[in-house]
Structure 1
Amino acid sequence: MTAPAQHNPADTPADSPAVSLLDPELLTDPYTGFGRLREEAPVERVRHLDGSTMWLVTRQDDVRTVLDDPRFVNDPARIENGPGDMRATMLASVGIPEDYIPYIADTILDSDPPDHTRLRKLVSRAFTVRRVNELRPRVEEITADLLDRLPGAAGDDGAVDLIEHFAYPLPITVICEMVGVPEADRPLWRDWGTRMMGLDPARMASAFREMIDHIHAMVAERRARPADALLDALIAVRDDDGDRLTETELVTMVLTLVIAGHETTAHLIGNGTHALLTHPEQARLLREDPGLAPRAVHELMRWCGPVLFTRPRWAAEDVDLGGTLIRKGQGVEAVLVSANHDPRHYTEPERLDITRTYDTRGEHHLGFGHGLHYCLGAALARQEGEVAFTQLLGRFPGLALAVPEDQARWMPRPGLRRLVELPVRLG
């Protein structure tokens, strides 16, 4: 049998074409764009905003390998004779000052064992299924309060922006209460998140600087006046045993928890609501049977989850991936959106079906990632989605889009599928 041809980027001229993450097809319709790559070029070179190139991996089996195989690491600086700290280089290229880079480049999301194990252990107890279930009454209370206010948020045309007045406030309130961010400071985080997720390097850099300075001030305040939140527990760990958590890691952990704990969940709620309203038969099923909510959230996360691809991984040794040779030190982007629509794993993958079932147990989509870096807050995000969708549809049975489906405004940002706004009529 003839071995599959192996593609090595070292054999490719440096100026040869590579897929650009700013390709209009990938920005405006990532399902079709990345889906085409999955079928035609499942392991392909991609050019980042800073001009660097990596491999783009689009089929589910290959994506699972990248996310779960120890030969792929999150920290390229660990690779002997490897590329060095590529993350710091990328951040510097978009204007992040050198003294702020460690707070962004050395997070729990970017670490490998044993650091990842140590950091995750410090916060994992706050996100167990039992702890999250205990939060459900509070999540329901926050949701009900936001829904009470929605009619008063309608503009002159009678439309309400569900992103502004529901999808964002719910998860940011929940995570800020858990972490211990004062209520008065929460609008700042909304502004920082918006700037950070945009494409303007100067606005992105200023958002990071302001967030990091703010967390330092918040930590100092809580050291002087402790409360009872996750932040206070992390401060106690830091002050009692600096070997378990450095000051930089403390600030970085707060930054990561708050941003990761509300941005993706907000857009799961936004994207999911848009999907349900454009598939009224699915909305009707969920409205008539709220018990479908857990399956609905999983299906919405598969079908229109906000995270399109993961943070880069780097090959710690030569790896054959789908017939392509990934050389030691080369970076790989694992594309979740194409993996979640892979016809090799799903019957009619483009069909939204909140009653979808599988022959085997476990989570079949990759919306929350896979392997060692599976989303720490997945249980909380699922719960917030379940509460949000069921209460929203139950409270407003006549809920409908206020603009035609083809006029929905999606932010053209690589890596994240999110609505700029979601104008609805409450009915």
Structure 2
Amino acid sequence: MTATPSATHDVINLLDPVWTRDPRSLVDRVAGAGGSAPALFADGFEVVLFADDEDVRTILSDRRFVVDPANVREGATESRKADLLEAMGITPDLAVYVTESILGMDGSDHTRLRKLVSRTFTVRRVNELRPQVQRITDDLLSRLPDHAEEDGAVDLLEHFAYPLPITVICDLVGVPEEDRPAWREWSRTLQEFDPTRPERMNTVLGAMIDHIGAMIARRRAEPQDTLLDALIREQDEDGGRLSEAELITLVFTLVIAGHETTAHLLANGTHALLTHRDQWDLLRSDPGLLPAGVHEMLRWCGVALLTQLRYAAEDVQLKGGRLAAGDRVVALLAGANRDPNVYPDPHRFDITRHHGKPGEAHVGFGHGIHYCLGAALARQEGQVAFGSLVRAYPDLDLVPGREPERVPSPGAMRFKDLYVRLTRD
């Protein structure tokens, strides 16, 4: 390890739930150490954490950084995949469904899998989905009063933020409606990783694999017009392009990633707006701020704080330090999104910050070849959801005494619930 953060800073434990409750403190700590700091990863081994926007973008887009340690020159690194799988409680018989994920591939393998699903998430295709997203949104909002408790409180996460994206992605992929509650529970277990009970991860993964296998068998017998059916045809017509494990892994990656992060973006964004009432009022008065507002939520309270583990494939000099081939690195997305050299007054929440500016300045959806496939859909769901929410319930407010609690989920900002009142007292 040749990156040399300040020796005055202790190693950061990335499993510490304090960072999900207060990501600003993590950003400030790494920035204060010179832009990089040693950290303890989930597998119990050290990584180097980088927070500077330029360094984060380099790590995410430069081919000198890889997610598969097999792509580092021989002898330069020792793969810790087995340690990580063991820490997660994943048994060898299920390991292939983790190691053959699109998220863990580089180069041509990653491109091959990405091409199979990318056409589903083009801007044109996503725009065609907008009326459906609006119908689902309007229906959920109209039924919110039915879920009010005696004190008038409604859990917005449970009854709006979750149902919206999971309905959209399950319709798109082809998950039957009767199976969706099971996916919701699996998702909840996966995000609430408990290092003292790693066997829960293995149980959930096994259940998901069995379920998807059965769903694939049904679709082969009774095809429909969904993304799942298209992937099955790709495998059946040319088995060399898509293995059975890759097919199954693609399905659960798309469904989990396609709803879970969007659900928590809706919750995080609503909480940010309601705790910055001037920003809520701005959005109410000017719906034209919706695109910029969603970008600011992705920057200021985006779900993912960190990226997955990467390896330096060769010696690399970054602003925050020098890396040798084989060194393990993690990019701090929240750090790049709060870099004062890019965003003046970066800790301030301001939905006008991106207004009128072309492109996407933040890294809330990642950067480079692993940039989020569903980014356009997530942005659209956010714009529809927030625009409809402020119209339907302009006096929405948080419930005093029922402040939301963060899920102790390493590297991500998620609430357990989000209680609101539909009208202000």
TM-score by length of 1: 0.94
Q: Determine which of 312, 335, 339 is the counterpart of 2:332.
A: 335
The equivalences for 1:243-322 within 5 A come to 243-322=240-319
Q: 1:165 aligns to what? A: 159
- How far apart, CA to CA, are the structure 2 residues paired with 1:352 and 1:334? 22
- How far apart, CA to CA, are the structure 1 residues paired with 2:16 and 2:417? 23
- Please say if residues 35 and 341 of structure 1, whose CA atoms lie closer than 8 Å, have aligned partners that are also in contact: no
The equivalences for 1:389-408 within 5 A come to 389-403=386-400, 407-408=403-404
The Cα of 1:294 is off from its aligned counterpart by 0.7
Q: 1:117 aligns to what? A: 111
Describe the SS at the equivalent of 1:273: helix
Encode CA deviations 1:41-81: one digit per residue, 9 max, x unaligned.
Answer: 42111112331111111111110110011000111122222
Residue identity opposite 1:190 in structure 2: R
Provide the aligned length of Structure 1 versus Structure 2: 416
- How far apart, CA to CA, are the structure 2 residues paired with 1:143 and 1:409? 25
Describe the SS at the equivalent of 2:407: coil
- How far apart, CA to CA, are the structure 2 residues paired with 1:129 and 1:163? 27
Q: 1:3 aligns to what? A: none
The equivalences for 1:90-101 within 5 A come to 90-101=84-95
- How far apart, CA to CA, are the structure 1 residues paired with 2:350 and 2:98? 38
Q: Determine which of 35, 39, 42 is the counterpart of 1:42.
A: 35
Encode CA deviations 1:313-353: one digit per residue, 9 max, x unaligned.
Answer: 11101111225221211211100111111111001111111
- How far apart, CA to CA, are the structure 2 residues paired with 1:85 and 1:211? 26
Encode CA deviations 1:271-300: one digit per residue, 9 max, x unaligned.
Answer: 000001111111111112212111110011
CA distance 1:113–1:317, shift in 2 (3 Å): same
Q: Determine which of 45, 48, 51 is the counterpart of 1:52.
A: 45
Are residues 1:143 and 2:137 paired? Answer: yes
Describe the SS at the equivalent of 1:218: helix
Encode CA deviations 1:359-381: one digit per residue, 9 max, x unaligned.
Answer: 96321001000111111100000
Q: 1:363 aligns to what? A: 360
- How far apart, CA to CA, are the structure 1 residues paired with 2:291 and 2:306? 23
CA distance 1:119–1:113, shift in 2 (3 Å): same
The Cα of 1:35 is off from its aligned counterpart by 2.1
The Cα of 1:254 is off from its aligned counterpart by 0.3
Encode CA deviations 1:199-256: one digit per residue, 9 max, x unaligned.
Answer: 2212222111111111111111111111110000000000000111111111011011
Residue identity opposite 1:198 in structure 2: E
- Please say if residues 42 and 87 of structure 2, whose CA atoms lie closer than 8 Å, have aligned partners that are also in contact: no
The equivalences for 1:7-86 within 5 A come to 7=3, 17-23=10-16, 25-81=18-74, 82-86=76-80
- Please say if residues 154 and 420 of structure 2, whose CA atoms lie closer than 8 Å, have aligned partners that are also in contact: yes
Q: 1:216 aligns to what? A: 213
- How far apart, CA to CA, are the structure 2 residues paired with 1:321 and 1:359? 32
Describe the SS at the equivalent of 2:305: coil
Q: 1:413 aligns to what? A: 409
- How far apart, CA to CA, are the structure 2 residues paired with 1:228 and 1:360? 38
The CA RMSD over aligned residues, in Å, is 1.8
Q: 2:172 aligns to what? A: 178
Describe the SS at the equivalent of 2:48: strand
Q: 1:386 aligns to what? A: 383
- How far apart, CA to CA, are the structure 2 residues paired with 1:34 and 1:331? 19
- How far apart, CA to CA, are the structure 1 residues paired with 2:372 and 2:202? 25
The Cα of 1:33 is off from its aligned counterpart by 2.2
- Greater shift in the superposed pair: 173-182 or 336-345: 336-345
Residue identity opposite 1:414 in structure 2: P
The Cα of 1:403 is off from its aligned counterpart by 2.8
Q: Determine which of 230, 238, 243 is the counterpart of 1:241.
A: 238
Residue identity opposite 2:421 in structure 1: R
- Please say if residues 35 and 320 of structure 2, whose CA atoms lie closer than 8 Å, have aligned partners that are also in contact: no
Are residues 1:347 and 2:344 paired? Answer: yes
TM-score by length of 2: 0.94
Encode CA deviations 1:168-198: one digit per residue, 9 max, x unaligned.
Answer: 0000000000000000000001100010111
- How far apart, CA to CA, are the structure 1 residues paired with 2:168 and 2:19? 32
Residue identity opposite 2:373 in structure 1: L
The Cα of 1:85 is off from its aligned counterpart by 4.1
The Cα of 1:394 is off from its aligned counterpart by 0.5
Describe the SS at the equivalent of 2:267: helix
- Please say if residues 192 and 207 of structure 1, whose CA atoms lie closer than 8 Å, have aligned partners that are also in contact: yes
- How far apart, CA to CA, are the structure 1 residues paired with 2:408 and 2:345? 27
Could you tell me which runs of 5 or more consecutive residues in structure 2 were left unpaired when the two chains were aligned: none
- Greater shift in the superposed pair: 151-160 or 29-38: 29-38
Describe the SS at the equivalent of 1:114: helix
Aligned-pair identity in percent equals 54
Encode CA deviations 1:14-33: one digit per residue, 9 max, x unaligned.
Answer: xx952111345424211122
Residue identity opposite 2:417 in structure 1: E
Q: Which has the higher contact order (CA 8 A, sep 6+)?
A: 2
